[in-house]
Amino acid sequence: MKNDPVFEIIKQEETRQSEGLELIPSENYVSAEVLKAMGSVLTNKYSEGYPGKRYYGGNENIDQIETLAIERAKELFHADHANVQPHSGANANEAVYFAWCQPGDTILAMALPAGGHLTHGSPVTRSAKIYNFVGYGVTEDGDIDYDELERLAREHQPKLILVGYSAFMKIPDFDRVAKIAAEVSKAAGYEILLMADMAHVAGLIAGGVHPNPLEHGFQVMTSTTHKTLRGPRGGLIVSMGTVGNPLKKCERKLENIPTLIDRAVFPGTQGGPLEHVIAAKAVAFGEDLQPEFQDYARQIVENAQALAAELKRLGFALQGGGTENHLILVNVKDSFGIDGKFFEYALDKVGLTLNANALPNDKGAAFRPSGVRLGTPAMTTRGLGVPEMMKVADWMKRVLDICVAAGDEDGLGSHEAELGAIRSEVRNLALSFPIPGIPANN
Ligand code: DSN
């Protein structure tokens, strides 16, 4: 269609991304090469099955692409096996549950209000209607409550223990969880699958700045590919064990987990893989294997810790007191008496994008949580460093002061000039750090 408005809207989005700063910790910017692979003719192809075992002809090139993605993912995470077909992190998680658990089986995972993810047992999900999720929490200082995890594991004898999160700032003690699982498994008389959902920190693991759960007794790690891994929007499962024929049934034993997972992804829970996205995953994994990616991972954490320290100095209360990864959770309600949604709304007006987020034991209403969640992966990709983090913290405090003076969203109307001034400062800085994949002056 000539002059399809879709392309004009995409241009507007390019401008929004270029002129603002992305503080949402689960977002990032892909390279021009990743974009190119995603926008390729591979989207035209059906390829149900796996390399060498497809249900359609004409897959000789697709097989090479998917094999490259698999091999690179294995190398990144020192895994025996990789399944690169999950369309998303949610699909990846569901496939693992389906691979290992029977309906009604118990899964022990971090509760959503404590920082876990929706797909880790929130009652609104399909998984929660099939499996029996039991949730563990976090301590006052923001770490996993390992004592509670242990107590619940002994009491419920789960089939699967999951360590994973979307709002948690510590480095998990995988060894401790593996030890608990081994003891409970002995008492229960069956194997317990240890699964880590590392969607948020997979890039930090790949970059060598966070421990790899697969090297600490875990058999499976799921992830999205678009967060710190800086790839296309999608999912990934890497695992340890013997790799068998995914088209043949196999016994539900830990050593067979790679094959059980392949079968659970296809035909268990998905149909045709998105090979254009798998090509883009292969490109991203290739980038993640370069030595520069380790510098990137280190810088993400350095930026997050500098930003956290400055926010603290400016009076913001931080959940867990700070961060050991890329993510910061700020209690704006406790610090300044305003809720996270209002702060998110006001920051949007100056081109700083983050999300309102509930805190553990949040007293705020579901849509007006007390906190905001922010992080540094996207800003670090653009090349912002510690000096720029100081500016971001300063802008946040200035917007916060405006919020306090305004009282609510409507009150911001009388502060447009001040917000506009901050908006220009943000835009000027943002434009001096172009987004990869979008040519400057596009
Ligand atoms: N929606 C993602 C996040 O923002 O953390 C998790 O899937």
Q: How far is the CA of 166 from the centre of ligand 1 (A)?
A: 6
pLDDT in tens, 330-354: 999 988 999 999 999 999 999 999 9
For the chain, helix, strand, coil in percent to 5 are 50, 15, 35
- Give the pLDDT score at 110: 97
Pocket test for ligand 1, best of 28, 88, 117 (most atoms within 8 A of CB): 117
Q: How far is the CA of 89 from the centre of ligand 1 (A)?
A: 9
- Out of 36, 46, 74, 175, the active site residue is 46
Domain boundaries, the chain: 32-288, 299-431
CATH topology for 299-431? Aspartate Aminotransferase, domain 1 (3.90.1150)
The finding on whether 17 has its CB within 6 A of some atom of ligand 1 is no
Q: Do domains 32-288 and 299-431 have the same CATH topology?
A: no
The candidate with the shortest Cα–Cα distance to 225, out of 258, 192, 261, 274, is 274
User: What distance in Å separates the CA atoms of residue 211 and residue 220, rounded to the nearest whole number?
Assistant: 14
The candidate with the shortest Cα–Cα distance to 258, out of 244, 272, 271, is 244
Contact in structure between 429 and 19 (CB atoms under 8 Å)? no
User: Which of 6-15, 114-123, 175-184, 358-367 has the lowest average pLDDT?
Assistant: 358-367
Averaged pLDDT, 146-152 = 98
- Give the pLDDT score at 438: 78
Please provide the average confidence, as pLDDT, over all residues in the chain.
96
Q: How confident is the model at residue 99 (pLDDT cuts 50, 70, 90)?
A: very high
The finding on whether 166 has its CB within 6 A of some atom of ligand 1 is yes
* Model pTM score: 0.96
Q: How far is CA 441 from CA 117, 344, 351, 438, in A?
A: 38, 29, 19, 9
Q: Is 363 a catalytic residue?
A: no
- Give the pLDDT score at 417: 98
Strands 132-136 and 193-197: what pairing?
unpaired
pLDDT in tens, 357-414: 999 888 877 789 999 999 999 999 999 999 999 999 999 999 999 999 999 999 999 9
Pocket test for ligand 1, best of 22, 165, 166 (most atoms within 8 A of CB): 166
Q: State which ligand 1 atom lies nearest to the alpha carbon of 27.
A: 4
Q: Is 197 a catalytic residue?
A: yes
Averaged pLDDT, 61-71 = 98
- Give the pLDDT score at 441: 55
- Give the pLDDT score at 155: 98
Q: Is the pLDDT of residue 76 over 70?
A: yes
Averaged pLDDT, 157-183 = 97
**Which of the following CATH numbers is that of domain 32-288: 3.40.50.300, 3.40.50.1970, 3.40.640.10, 3.40.50.2300?**
3.40.640.10
- Give the pLDDT score at 322: 97
pLDDT in tens, 6-31: 999 999 999 999 999 999 999 999 99
